[in-house]
Amino acid sequence: MADLKVVARNQITKENQVLRQILGICSSLAVTNLMMNSLVMGLGVAFVTGLSSFTISLLNKLIPQRIRMLIQTFVIAFYVILVNLFLQAYMPDISKQLGPYVGLIITNCIIMGRAEAFAAQNPPLPALVDGFFSGIGYLLVLLVISFIREFLGFGTLFGIDLGLNFTRWTLMVMPPAAFFVIAILIWFTSARTIKAEQKERSS
């Protein structure tokens, strides 16, 4: 199944939903002041994207064209409710910190985007892989951003104090820093893509 591997790899690198397609920005900025929150959020999104793509692909022939979006939203909302109940039951602290952003997974454009762009034309298994790995790509970006922000802002990683003695860069845990960090990441990745394209063209 080389095909599935390519699908999975593309979702993490070349077509990374956050850095290349600029989707799912709201939550990637809001939950990235702590690594733990980002990890939970990213896994939640991977779960929802994977399973909703799978379900939508299964239901494809049954859904009438006209109410397609509505049904998709229902499917996504169903899985988000599962994630929310799970978090409330087993991780009440994190659930409280994430607050409305768990519910906002419903309006995360990545999920609807994968459902429309991939799951609607492909069989269930590739759809599951595509959805799940687009979520993993999102998770990785979140971890990079939150690593920078938590390390510089609190001097901790996953809440564990590293014992380093430096003045904490408080701005890093405040909203503006989220914009700066993601701007630099996007700059870096698109500059690299442009360079790679130029090389391809010249050779």
Partner 1 sequence: MAPNISPLVIFIASIFTSNMVLANFLGMCSYLAISSEYKTASGLGKAVTLVLIITNVANWAIYHYVIEPLGLEYLQYIIFIMVIAAIVQILELFMDRYMPDLHANLGVFLPLITVNCAILGATLFQVIRNYSFLQTLLFNLGSGIGWWMAIIMLAAIREKMGKAKLPPGLAGPGIAFLITGIMALAFVGFSGIFPVQ
Residues contacting 174, CB < 8 A, separation 6+: none
CB half-sphere exposure, 155, CA atoms < 13 A? 10
Given 3-state DSSP classes, what are the helix, strand and coil percentages for the chain, each rounded to the nearest 5?
A: 75, 0, 20
Residue 137 structure tokens: 């790509």
Q: Which stretch binds partner 1 (CB under 8 A): 5-13, 20-28, 56-64, 134-142?
A: 20-28
- Say if residues 36 and 94 touch (Cβ distance below 8 Å): yes
Residue 29 CB neighbour total at 10 angstroms: 18
**Rounded CA separation 168/25 (Å):** 26
Question: Considering beta carbons, is residue 143 or 186 the nearer one to partner 1?
Answer: 186
Q: C-beta of 46: minimal distance to partner 1 in Å?
A: 19
What is the nearest approach in angstroms of partner 1 to the Cβ of residue 172?
A: 12
178 is an interface residue for partner 1 by CB under 8 A: yes
Return the number of the residue (75 or 129) whose C-beta is nearest partner 1: 75
- Residues 118-157 within binding reach of partner 1 (CB under 8 A): none
Tell me if 177 contacts partner 1 by CB under 8 A: yes
Q: Which of 77, 91, 120, 140 binds partner 1 (CB under 8 A)?
A: 77
Under the rule (CB under 8 A), what is the footprint of partner 1?
22-23, 25-27, 29-30, 70, 73-74, 77-78, 80-81, 84-85, 99-100, 103-104, 106-109, 112, 174-180, 182-183, 186-194
